[in-house]
Chain A
Amino acid sequence: MPKAKVSQQDKALRIGIDLGTSRSAIAANNGKRKWVQSLVGWPKDFVARKMLGDRVLFGDEVKEHRLSLDVMRPLAQGVIKSGTEKDEESVAELIGHLISLVEPRPRQKIFAAVGVPAEALKVNKRAIREAIADYAEKLIVVSEPFAVAYGMGALDNAMIIDMGAGTTDFCIMHGTMPSVDDQRSLTTAGDYIDEQLLGLLTERYPDADFNINVIRSFKEEHGFVGDSLTQVEVEARVEGRPIVHDITSEMRRACESVLPAIAETAMDMIARFDPEYQDQVRNNIILAGGCSQIAGIDTYLMEALSEMGPCNVSIVDNPLYAGAQGGLALAKDMPYEYWMDM
């Protein structure tokens, strides 16, 4: 049997990228998938360059050497911060690093579907396009919640609530590409919870040495809403000595602080949807993003939304990769003629 001719597009590496405020992930059709913290760092001065070399650092390496680095979080607040050259460069560096992690073959063409926070899509889609121009031959850019919905096949009468670090993005799917009216964003998300928790703990334990990175790790490990069966106890230093602190009530208050706005927005969006299909949407609410891992969040939202009628809230299986896998599904399905040249 003659070997089928492999076309150029079949040889291309198709990738899905989830460019998040806190974490960014990539999945490729060569089976590889990786994630990094969305942190980019450049050596501050010649001493730092001597120590670290003249290179850009990413993710955990940035955390490790943060005192020697100019650190950028490219998508803080869900958008490329101020649109300066450095901000855009950091996005480009991050994308380049992510692509290198899935190890494309030398000179292999790359077709990328990039999911970005909904706000970034509105504000600086063009800048994101420019940022990836050096690394991909073809590109499509979509909002993160849409990428998640596509990956899960939740294409009709479903609502995705993507609770990230910088923004909580809402998206109603109704069998077509969601329009501007079908999408909303709130800036109360993971970072907001961290700030609340830091404020509450500093107030209760003024002598304890908390900082925002430590607080974030507490939230990721112990975050919960509703009633807790166990106490949350963490270790923090007081005058250099490790002391155990009970942070149960502060954790609950901080995590619950974002939920009323989220429930209200979800209810408002559903109420504006075609009445004929509101029941279906209410029973097909999907939580994605890092904050969806806060224990009890689905139950809390289900109760809050129940005043509109019975509803069902589920959580994506793997929030870390849901956006990237959705992007990859999009990249695989997208017909060649629909790809945009860089």
Chain B
Amino acid sequence: MGNYRKTGQRIIKSTILHDVYCENLASEQLPRIQQPLSLRRYPEWVRMGSLVLVLSLAVIATYVVLQHSDGVIPGVEIVDAKYSAAGWNQNMLPLIPDANAGVVPPGGRFPDNDLSFDETALLSGEGAVSPLGQGAATDSGILGAGNYQMLLGWPDVAIADLFGLGVHTIVIDAGHGGKDPGAIGSGGLMEKDITLKIARLLYNRLADEEGINVVMTRDSDVTLSLKHRVEYARQHDADLLISIHLNTIPDSPMTIVETYYFGPPADDQSMAVAKKENYHSGYAVAEFNELIAGLGDTLKQQESRKLASHIQKNIYGTLSRDNRSIINVGIKTAPFVLLLGAETPSVLAEVNCISNTEEEARLAKPAYRDKIAGALERGILSYLNQFRQQDRQRPEQGSIIHAES
């Protein structure tokens, strides 16, 4: 018994130490405060030596400049790094999906101007091999050198930024419900119940945000077709839709988190997930064709992708603290009817894996569900912050969004 307790304590300690590391790592990502060079820690002779060296260099520099009073120093070319070819390297290539994987480039042909290379790679699961079957491709991939030339002529700007658009109404959709339980964990936990609870928590969190109207497609255990959900979003003039779901991976203890926006499937697994979530969509073929006609919606895709990125980053960041083995599959495209039908930027977040017994146990706890809701809230608010930044840049236009991250 004593040994068991000691082992338990050791495991907890090890988890906590890893968490401390992750949290400190996260604070490392904050912008570095400019700090003047400090010589405090060095002995007196080093400080004096440094002073003499700096003065000597200053004298030499002054002498050289005076010798070339036309202001041009031979051998030195002043080049603005921004426009310098040398300032560009291969690592700075924009990320768009691999054309060979059959994925529609998110955001049309516009590179996402919101995320750095590293951030985009992280969000899209770059670097972490997709664990899901052959041919699995996340929404990433570096454009070939030939294709890259094609992009040079395109303006590096998102449409929402260009027109100063804002967000007023957010629709939260709790996946499944009523007769459709969604996935069921081995302990009997149903996806429909957990998504509803998380949706309520998210609603409570967002409801306090000034200038944002939040609505839920369902607030009880009722059966709703996907068509009904889409129409609900349209009726409420939704500016943003987030659908909450739980993943299930049969016969595997794996836990993944992924966020989808509309597009052709990136892999077989995405197709399977879409098929599962599209079950009982409620659309007739003619109506569906109408939806398909509205596909070329660049704004929706651009913004959906951004929103998906922010949500995925926060969900993974939060859940990986509790479960180190959780896998960041990144943001992906898949043909979900719900995302296709909504006329607004929309994402479907698979916020956890109910097929994993440990995660199922965690999902049963209110505190854990609140953590997930908190992560979704942070994702949405950090996405909305782009509009706040626009407000700052264009005060004369005004906008009602004042969300804080």
Q: A-side interface residues toward B, CB under 8 Å?
A: 96, 125-127, 129-130, 133-135, 139-142, 150, 153, 155-156, 174-177, 179-181, 272-276, 330, 333-335, 338, 340
Contact = CB atoms under 8 A, between A and B. Distances in A.
A338 B21 contact: yes
A130 B366 contact: no
Main secondary structure of the interface of A (DSSP, over half): mixed
B27 A126 contact: yes
Interface in B355-379: 365-367, 370-371, 374
Given A155-B16, A176-B15, A340-B24, 9 more contacts: A125-B30, A126-B30, A155-B9, A177-B20, A179-B374, A272-B366, A333-B13, A335-B17, A340-B28
A181 B374 contact: yes
B20 A176 contact: no
Interface stretch (B32-40, B249-257, B338-346, B388-396): B32-40
B27 A134 contact: no
B20 A338 contact: yes
Interface string B306-329: 000000000000100110000000
Nearest to B33: A130
A40 to B, nearest CB: 14
Contacts of B16: 150, 155, 175-177
A126 to B, nearest CB: 5
A126 B32 CA distance: 8
A135 B366 contact: no
B20 A334 contact: yes
B19 interface: yes
B306 to A, nearest CB: 24
Contacts of A330: 17, 20
Contacts of A129: 27
Contact of B25 (A126, A275, A333, A340): A340
A134 B33 contact: no
B9 A333 contact: no
Nearest to A93: B40
B208 interface: no
A174 B367 CA distance: 10
Given A135-B41, A150-B16, A274-B366, A181 B23 contact: no
Nearest to B34: A130
A176 B19 contact: yes
B326 to A, nearest CB: 13
B18 interface: yes
Contacts of B40: 96, 134
B367 A177 contact: no
Interface in B1-52: 9, 12-13, 15-25, 27-28, 30-33, 35, 38, 40-41
A282 B60 CA distance: 71
B20 A142 contact: yes
Contacts of B17: 330, 333-335, 338
A120 B374 CA distance: 21
A273 B12 contact: no
Contact of A181 (B18, B38, B322, B367): B367
A316 B356 CA distance: 39
A54 to B, nearest CB: 13
Contacts, number: 83
Nearest to A156: B12
Contacts of B33: 126-127, 130
A140 B367 contact: no
14 contacts: A125-B30, A126-B30, A127-B33, A134-B41, A142-B23, A153-B9, A156-B12, A175-B12, A179-B318, A181-B367, A273-B367, A274-B366, A338-B18, A340-B21
B24 A140 contact: yes
A235 to B, nearest CB: 43
Nearest to B366: A274
A194 B373 CA distance: 40
Contacts of A334: 17, 20-21
A112 to B, nearest CB: 12
A155 B11 CA distance: 11
A289 B91 CA distance: 50
Contact of A133 (B12, B27, B35): B35
Contacts of B23: 142, 177
A248 B374 CA distance: 47
Interface string B140-183: 00000000000000000000000000000000000000000000
Nearest to A179: B371
Contacts of B15: 175-177
A82 to B, nearest CB: 14
A334 B20 CA distance: 9
Nearest to A335: B17
Contact of B38 (A134, A139, A150, A276): A134
Nearest to B367: A274
A176 to B, nearest CB: 6
Contacts of A127: 33
A130 B370 CA distance: 33
A176 B16 CA distance: 5
A140 B21 contact: yes
A274 B369 CA distance: 11
A127 B16 CA distance: 24
Contacts of A139: 24
Contact of A177 (B25, B28, B38, B321): B321
Contacts of B20: 140, 142, 177, 330, 334, 338
Nearest to B27: A125
Interface in B91-148: none
Nearest to A341: B28
A97 B321 CA distance: 35
Contacts of B322: 176
A180 B22 CA distance: 14
Contacts of A126: 27, 30-33
Interchain residue pairs A-B with the least CB separation, the first 6:
A177-B19, A338-B21, A274-B365, A175-B12, A155-B12, A125-B27
Nearest to B378: A180
A272 B9 contact: no
Nearest to B375: A179
B205 to A, nearest CB: 11
Nearest to A340: B24
- Counting chain B CB atoms within 10 Å of each CB, the highest count among A126, A174, A179, A333 belongs to A179
Contacts of A130: 33, 35
Nearest to B40: A134
A135 B41 CA distance: 7
